[in-house]
Amino acid sequence: MNFFELKSGVLHAENVALTDIAEQYGTPCYVYSKQALTQAFNDFQAGLSTTDHLICFAVKANPNIAVLNVFAQLGAGFDIVSGGELARVLAAGGDPKKVVFSGVGKTADEMRAALGAGILCFNVESASELVRLNQVAEGMGKVAPVSLRVNPNVDAKTHPYISTGLKNNKFGVAIDDAVPVYQKAAAMPNIAVHGVDCHIGSQITEIAPFIDALDRVLGLVEVLEDHKIHISHIDVGGGIGITYDNETPPEFKQYTQAILEKLNKKQVKLLFEPGRALVGNAGVLLTKVEYLKLAESKNFAIVDAAMNDLMRPALYDAYHDIVPAQTRGGEKTVYEIVGPVCETGDFLGHDRALNLRENDILVVKSAGAYAMSMASNYNTRARAPEIMVDNNQCHIVREREQITDLFALERKMP
């Protein structure tokens, strides 16, 4: 079901007109649908009823505490990559016993915070990290539960900036080098080996790379068992793509079924770390057309959202569909949709055919993932508010920043 639908010519989030939200809260502004989040999570989980599993939402995709709270209430765990994300999960009412901690550069302080909170597992990404984690745990009189993130060297066939499973990426330990690292871990007094972890990239639209990676991970698990190292969970990471344009990513059911088939009834708990697939199409970015600038070579629609609000187009040349909040017939013109930031890379979309007038509200779709979470204050622009729609109610889940907040931590020289 789609929770962003046209009703009498006006695009709605559930039962609220996006034009009303723009009027009430101003633009730019992010809008999320609680039902869309809920349905995505439940759909993902539906294929897993026969197996011991935990879905750990990748917080980096959308860390708003209202979003995290919706997932926490549905029973989700969380995949974090910083002490900051841990603090958010706890503030949102997430269960620390369902948290896995990924990332190549965990600091000793972050390790201490996570050990103190009692997280489920550290996804350790190097032999040096293992040594440090053992020391930190020893200092606290604790034993750290770990998985080793292995790099299976499979090509996820996605954008090079978001591909992580090839052997020349900075992530994880090459799968061929993993056994001695596991042996080291098993011998460390303050480390307990729990699992194997693997994440090969993001916005992956085919099942095959996931299954190739799992195949290699299962091979490793067997070798580890021969070495008397028991693995109680396999974390298959995140990475399932969504439809931005005309991509056809696997449905959750196909994906989970393929994984379960590959597992072939092996008794092991499965962990998943989906981010984008749970939130990407549960959110949009509303923006107002400020100016139309018609020129011989190009027409520009200058809108009030910019690369600081949604940097995916500038950073990855990513496509986001852009539609009017209110439909209007008549002739369309082809526009570059650009923001006010002083960079040629500041665009939200190229060559979009739209019938526009100044002050129109545009809806930039698929902005629930890696949109607000990657927003910045470039050009001293306040970050936009976030609104969560629940049926016919709107809840402001993050206020618009005030300009004075942006330099409140700065000081003039004495």
For ligand LLP, the binding residue among 74, 127, 162, 181 (CB under 6 A) is 162
Number of residues in contact with ligand LLP under rule CB under 6 A: 20
Q: Tell me: does residue 310 bind ligand LLP (CB under 6 A).
A: no
Which among 292, 288, 278 is positioned nearest to 322, based on CA atoms?
Answer: 288
Give residue for tokens 């690292």: 181
Residue among 34, 199, 262, 320 that touches ligand LLP (CB under 6 A): 199
The answer to the question of residue 370 lying near ligand LLP (CB under 6 A) is: yes
Of 196 and 240, CB closest to ligand LLP? 240
Instruction: Specify which residues 381 forms β-bridges with.
Output: none
**Is 29 near ligand LLP (CB under 6 A)?**
no
Q: Give catalytic status of residue 342 as yes or no.
A: yes
**Residue 161 contacts residue 235 (beta carbons within 8 Å):** no
Least distance between ligand LLP and beta carbon 241 (Å): 7
Q: Minimum Å distance from CB 334 to ligand LLP?
A: 26
Nearest to 208 by CA among 238, 178, 170, 250: 250
Residue 125 in contact with ligand LLP, rule: CB under 6 A: no
For residues 339 and 362, give the distance between their C-alpha atoms in angstroms, rounded to a whole number.
12
The dihedral formed by the CA atoms of 13, 350, 295 and 326, expressed in degrees to the nearest 10: -10
Given the residues 29, 56, 121, 342, select the one marked as catalytic. 342
CB atoms inside a 10 Å sphere around CB 414: 3
By the rule CB under 6 A, 274 interacts with ligand LLP = yes
Q: Give the torsion sign (CA, 235, 319, 22, 327).
A: negative
Based on the shown chain and the rule CB under 6 A, indicate whether residue 272 belongs to the binding site for ligand LLP.
no
> Of 312 and 381, which has the nearer Cβ to ligand LLP?
312
Q: Which long-range contacts (CB under 8 A, 24 or more apart) does 79-84 make?
A: 79/238, 79/273, 79/275, 80/114, 82/110, 83/107, 83/109, 83/110, 83/113, 83/114
Nearer to ligand LLP, 25 or 171 (CB): 171
Contact pattern for ligand LLP over residues 320 through 359, marking x by CB under 6 A: ----------------------------------------
Q: With contacts defined by CB under 6 A, name the span among 20-28, 207-215, 218-226, 236-244 that binds ligand LLP.
A: 236-244
* Residues within window 37-56 making contact with ligand LLP, judged by CB under 6 A: none
Contact between 285 and 361 under an 8 Å Cβ cutoff? The reply is no
Q: Does 172 engage in binding with ligand LLP (CB under 6 A)?
A: no
249: DSSP letter: P
Work out whether the CA dihedral 86, 89, 92, 94 comes out positive or negative.
Answer: negative
Q: Tell whether residue 61 is a contact of ligand LLP (CB under 6 A).
A: yes
The residues carrying an active-site annotation are 342
Binding residues (CB under 6 A) for ligand LLP: these are: 58, 61, 79, 102, 162, 199, 202-203, 237-240, 273-277, 312, 370, 374
